[in-house]
Amino acid sequence: MHPTEDASRSAADDSPAHGPTSSPGGQLPTGRSLLAGREVTGDGDAWYAVAAATGEPFGTPYRDASAAQVAEAARLAAADARAYRALPAERRAAFLDACAEEIEALGDSLLESAARESGLPLARLTGERGRTCGQLRLFADLVRSGSASGARLSSGPSGADVRLRRIPLGPVAVFGASNFPLAFSVAGGDTASALAAGCPVVAKAHPAHPGTCEAVARAVTAAAARTGMPAGVFSLLVGRGHEVGLALVGDPRIAAVGFTGSRAGGRALVAAAQARPVPVPVHAEMSAVNPVIMLDGALSAPEGTAAAYVASLTNGAGQFCTNPGLLLLPAGEAGNAFLAEAARLTEAAEGQVMLTPAVARSYTEGVRRWARTPGVREAARGTAGPGPCAPAPALLECDAAVYTAHEVLTGEVFGPAGLVVRWRDTAELTGLLDQLEGQLTATLHAADSDRATALELLPVLEERAGRVLWGGWPTGVEVCHAMVHGGPWPATSSPGTTSVGALAIDRWLRPVCYQSFPEALLPPELRTDAAPGTPRPTGPGFTPELR
């Protein structure tokens, strides 16, 4: 589990009361950590993967990595960091491509393991595997393009020859997310972008899907060996409790941290990183309610819009970082019609298996907290799905005054629960938005008749969210060059960055300026005779003869 992470967006820390019931589908994991390709057995108490649907333990026993093993992983990464960053771009790109190929070669056994551990359906996991491999190939192409180095050539006011490139920070610690066992995990976006930047990665296996983590880690290790990478470029640490993660972040050789999880877990990592003698950045994606704002003009056809809302709210049991947990809906008859249709569809919805028993319990408790708040009305509740870990979707309603008066309503309830807040006029709506915390997304549904209001709200939405949508629904993050999956605190700890898309590489690089250097000593991408096509913006007044 992520350090001090609460159960709302993390794995269950449910220790099985007995041994394994059976092995996972496909190849049996070893339960060991991988240090630069070498298997090591931890020294902690034995624990097991848990089937999300039943809460039953199964498979191979795992033991947390020891403090010495955590330190060794960081040492190996640091020892090979310079060798890895010195490799030609094509070598790093080939490694990333090989990672994708090795993951694909795992076949259905990877998906079956992930399905059992996470409760996610095979169709969803098949798409997530495609996204994972697509991210790796996106960053391979970015490395090949040469643009990631950010090379710049210019001359200063005095005529000095000034050139810039970005270099890797060094070893990166990666904590995967419980809700994306592939795309945000061992070889997910944080790992792909860090490796593309030239940073070795030490990944911590998520205890909600340890077998899946190990299988993917073995694929990355095989890709590293196949492409001749330095051995310390990648390691995997097994750890259920907080100790492994905190020790990893506290190691002086770790230069940056990538995390996706709860606010409590993210804050704990930020605090640990800042408490070091030399603090390091923690790029944590934490929590959001992702407000959806409905203006009057968007309610002319409530049936279709309400159906799309409920589909987004309940998609994947509501366990997306971008789930639309807060809907700001106009008071009045049009809003009533929309809410009535959304309630009807919610009542017809069945609960899906959630990621872990603890996540299911936390969701149920969160809905109960909302419902107990004075002034909150339960608009609809669906039916629970089969088994103990598939609670019913829920839709609750209150007015703006109740929402602003009760802080308990402003936090995330991770799962298929939506809170609908009714607003009376633009001033009240703007006041609601002004009080919101930082968000990953903000979505505006409006018509041409709402143009003036939309233009008034847009600056507020830009201040509150990393991604602003016109129409549509936020569940569904495009992996592309212009995507931003980030936002102001507490959506993330790094409002200037993104964890999805090509700009994710920026988190693991820092600029270095070279002034008046002899040509022969300059990095290759900054030399006058750099390979044709190397992107190198030049500033006013740059003259090659200054060299």
Which tokens hold the place of 341? 């249709």
Measure the CA dihedral 327/331/335/336, to 10°.
Answer: 110
Q: What is the rounded distance in angstroms from the CA atom of residue 453 to the CA atom of residue 4?
A: 42
Axis crossing angle, helix 108-118 with helix 122-145, rounded to the nearest 10: 120
User: What is the pairing mode between strands 152-155 and 57-62?
Assistant: unpaired
Q: Are 166 and 174 in contact (CB under 8 A)?
A: no
Please report, for residues 435, 447, 503, the alpha-carbon distance to residue 93 in angstroms, rounded to integers and kept in the order given. Answer: 44, 45, 16
Residue 452, Cβ neighbours under 10 Å: how many? Answer: 9
DSSP 206: P
Tokens representing residue 508 in the block:
């693991």
Residues catalogued as catalytic: 285, 321
Residue by residue, DSSP assigns 65-81 as: PPHHHHHHHHHHHHHHH
Contacts of 386 (CB under 8 A, 6+ apart): none
DSSP string, 460-498: HHHHHEEEEEESS-SS----STT-----STTTBS-TT--
Q: What is the three-class DSSP state of 35?
A: strand
User: Which secondary structure element, helix H or strand E, spans residue 49, and what is its range?
Assistant: strand 47-50
Distance between CA 269 and CA 250 in Å, rounded?
A: 9
Sheet holding 292-294, edge to edge: 377-381, 394-399, 417-423, 326-330, 292-294, 439-445, 465-470
Tokens of 125: 């996991």
β-pair partners for 398: 421
Whether the CB-CB separation of 182 and 174 falls below 8 Å is answered with: no
